[in-house]
Structure 1
Amino acid sequence: MASFRLLVLGFVRDYIGLMHASPSYGEIAAELDSSRKRVMKAVRSLERDGLLIRAAGPRGLRLPSLRDAAIRQLRDAGFFIDEDLKIAAPVPPESWFERYAAHLLPVTKKGSADGRGARLSA
């Protein structure tokens, strides 16, 4: 017999495929002849393993896409992902960051008024 987690995952996949929406915990429990509490526990476990994504609110279950899987793998490898800006970069070691931060100190220009021959100093 398949594990309860796999039964939940299979039902959620089928439901989303047919209805284009997430099932409620009650619908999953009724289909699998189980309790909502047991379904919620299975969903949390599936979410922990990256097989389901749970958003706040009713019917907040969704299946991870290839994009979500790639982002999860990059984060596991130590990359910082800024999803709003669509930028991925490795998290720098602290010593590197301290050296970089030193270059961000306020800079003033000294030299001629027109900027020729100006030199930058911290």
Structure 2
Amino acid sequence: MTSTVLIAEDDEDVRDLVALRLAAAGYQTVTVNNGNDALTAANFQHPDLVVLDIDMPGLDGLSVCQQLQGMARTSRIPVLILSARGRDLDASYGRSIGASEYMAKPFDSADLVERVGRLLDDARR
């Protein structure tokens, strides 16, 4: 069964790159460009994993992560935050609100695919 990854990223180039790399690795992708659409898509599409940017229009990625963790329907979906905020403090905060993984931009595509695979494997256990 193919896993579905929701990608919430307002930068079209980054969003397309992430979707392309994950599709090439065999994942189905759903893309949105803001936090409000990410919440809607997570509720209706029920993806296996969410990749979230922090700085997006409307709801930011941290708020989306908190809301996903707070709803029974989406609380078990792993969240990987992919952000230009690369400080250790940002990563610690992201994890403290429920993100499973935190990657700073610029990122290595192979590392992203590897982490997505590991998070999905962990979620299946």
For the pair shown, the structure with the greater C-alpha radius of gyration is 1
* TM-score (norm. length: structure 1): 0.27
* TM-score (norm. length: structure 2): 0.26
